Amino acid sequence: MDKREKKYLEERFPNGIRINFAKEPLSPSEQEYRNKCLREAIFQLFKAVLGREPTQDEFYGRVKIVIPKRRKRSKHTP
């Protein structure tokens, strides 16, 4: 992460991020439900960042995700 990203995260989450783990293992059906929810959330995150739906290879980490650079508008439009 570069300095700008670190600064943004520190501003966005000044108290850090807290993760609470379950004290008891989940049942198989609870684990499958949780995994489904996580997959959907990650898919939506990739979709928002990329501006398109990620490919299956991108989603599973087989291919590096390249975030498109946003083009700056010129001040003078013809």
The answer as to whether 11 is a domain residue is no
Please report whether residue 17 resides in a domain.
no
Q: Give the pLDDT confidence score for residue 65 in this predicted structure.
A: 81
Instruction: State which residues of the chain have pLDDT below 50.
Output: none
Kindly report the pTM of this predicted structure: 0.55
End-to-end CA distance of the chain: 38
Report yes or no on 16 lying in a domain. Answer: no
Is residue 20 assigned to a domain?
Answer: no
Instruction: Check residue 75 and give its pLDDT.
Output: 67
Residue 10 lies in a domain: no
Q: Which domain holds residue 55?
A: 26-67
Residue 51's pLDDT is: 85
Domain count within the chain: 1
Would you state the pLDDT for residue 32?
96
Q: H-helix or E-strand containing 3?
A: helix 3-12
